A and B are shown apart, each in its own frame.
Chain A
């Protein structure tokens, strides 16, 4: 048990160092510490399940040790940013004021092709429109376009946009959500009227019906329904 505890701490720290050395591109939207815990926990928990000859405590102690270590390190990182930089690294600026920072690209081991893929994922097809591109510590790329290429917002255009709130589902896959109906201040009669208006007789024939605060309805009939 003591050996399990010490071994877990050693492997935990070793994996954090390894993943930090591997670089941000390996992370896949997880911070290094989260990735280490995710990778280790599943394996550790499986061992006593697969082999009944191994006491359960050999799975419990390492899993609890990992979770507690992660919480403690995350907690300390909040208070002590330097530790966070050591464990998670710092964001890399790949495009700075429109210029590709080749030294950072090399350091992060990101090729131009990969940069273009990430830009396309972010909806950018022309690199000339990008003012800043930052490779975050979890491996995702944040893209900030020049102001003239930023999407126009109602505020920029001096327009007022109604805030209709979150659409609430009233019918989901043929099932009525009575609580949501009440929440929106509607009743069955109103729902029936809406269905009739759309040529549907039964709730069962509705795939999705949502209503927002502005009274806007989204309606989708079930495929094959009459």
Chain B
């Protein structure tokens, strides 16, 4: 019976860990999205210094969670998003507001995709 109790506890732990992970991914993605959108807004207002700072903050947050993201996300998704961040920073440096806007939309889209993929919705399960 001990073994079965251990198995039930393991199932409960896996379920809890999965739910925690879903929340964690969602919160990380929404925080990154907030930085990126703010960076886009600053670029639109031609406040390039602030835009660059916010994009760098997003990048540094993303990099600081490298171990976690590599453990729970597909590496292709991580690479795509990292490339999106670099592209955004590049456009900010060239002061190209239109390109920044489209880069912001791309990052947001990918962040939403990652959060959606991990969320326990019927669509992502099926």
A residues apposed to B, CB below 8 Å: 1-7, 10, 52-58, 61, 64-65, 67-72, 74-76
Q: Is the CB of A72 within 8 A of B4?
A: yes
Q: Which 5 A-B pairs have the closest CB atoms?
A: A75-B4, A71-B7, A2-B18, A53-B75, A68-B7
Q: Is the CB of A5 within 8 A of B4?
A: no
Specify which of B7, B22, B72 is in contact with A55 (CB 8 Å cutoff): B72
Beyond A3-B118, A3-B124, A68-B8, 19 additional pairs, beta carbon < 8 A: A1-B21, A1-B72, A1-B118, A2-B18, A3-B120, A5-B14, A5-B15, A6-B18, A53-B76, A55-B72, A55-B74, A57-B72, A61-B14, A64-B10, A65-B14, A70-B7, A71-B6, A75-B7, A76-B4
A72-B7 CB under 8 A given contacts A3-B118, A55-B74: yes
Render B37-69 as a binary contact track against A, CB cut-off 8 A, 1 for contact. 000000000000000000000000000000000
A71-B17 CB under 8 A given contacts A2-B118, A55-B74: no
Chain A hits for B93, CB < 8 A: none
Chain B hits for A54, CB < 8 A: 74-75
Tell me the minimal C-beta distance from B102 to chain A in angstroms.
27
Q: Is the CB of B14 within 8 A of A6?
A: no
Q: Is the CB of A71 within 8 A of B118?
A: no
Q: Is the CB of B10 within 8 A of A6?
A: no
Q: Is the CB of B1 within 8 A of A75?
A: yes
A69-B125 CB under 8 A given contacts A2-B21, A74-B4: no
Specify which of A4, A10, A68 is in contact with B10 (CB 8 Å cutoff): A68
Q: Secondary structure at chain A's binding surface: helix, strand, loop or mixed? A: helix
Q: Is the CB of A3 within 8 A of B117?
A: yes
Query: In the bound complex, how far is the Cα of B75 from the Cα of A53, in angstroms?
Result: 5
A72-B22 CB under 8 A given contacts A53-B76, A55-B75, A57-B71: no
Chain B hits for A5, CB < 8 A: 14-15, 18
B11 to chain A: closest residue by CB: A68
Q: Is B19 in the interface zone, CB < 8 Å from A?
A: yes
A3-B72 CB under 8 A given contacts A61-B18, A65-B11, A72-B7: no
Chain A hits for B10, CB < 8 A: 64, 67-68
Chain A hits for B71, CB < 8 A: 55-57
Query: In the bound complex, how far is the Cα of B69 from the Cα of A53, in angstroms?
Result: 12
Contacts A/B (CB < 8 Å), 24 sampled: A1-B21, A1-B22, A1-B118, A2-B120, A5-B14, A5-B15, A5-B18, A6-B120, A10-B125, A52-B75, A54-B75, A55-B70, A55-B72, A55-B74, A55-B75, A56-B71, A57-B72, A69-B7, A69-B11, A71-B3, A71-B6, A74-B4, A75-B4, A76-B4
